[in-house]
Amino acid sequence: MSTIMTMSTMTIMISTIVMMVATLISKKTHEEREKSSPFECGFDPKNSARLPFSSRFFLIAVIFMIFDVEIALLLPMPITMTTSNMKSWMLISSMFLLILIIGLYHEWNQGSLEWSN
């Protein structure tokens, strides 16, 4: 037990020392004008860096992220089929897929999936 405690303490101490040294070494003493500009290429910016972007693109990106996460939740379903009760697995899988299909139909019906109007 004491060996584990000693090793844990040593690990925490070494990692803390490494983080402190890295923080001290990485500090910049002066900032350059080019580095603090929005475009770090050395040229002066011609336009504002805060240009508006298409809200349509943002909406489609959010929809993609939502369905992408749901696909990640669907992938382990066949693996869990062998270790769970078949009735409960079918009920949960059917409800999950039904919610996904209803959400997809709603997005399609609202016209959110069309890139241009």
Q: Per-residue pLDDT for the chain (117 aa), expressed as one digit of tens each?
A: 789 899 999 999 999 999 999 888 876 655 665 556 555 555 666 666 666 777 778 888 888 888 888 888 888 888 888 888 889 889 988 998 899 889 889 888 988 777 766
Domain boundaries, the chain: 1-50, 55-110
User: What pLDDT is stored for residue 102 in this prediction?
Assistant: 92
- Distance, CA of 65 to CA of 69 (rounded, Å): 6
| Helix (H) or strand (E) run with residue 71 in it | helix 55-74
For residue 54, is it left (φ>0), alpha (ψ between -120 and 50) or beta? Answer: beta
**Cβ–Cβ < 8 Å for 96, 74:** yes
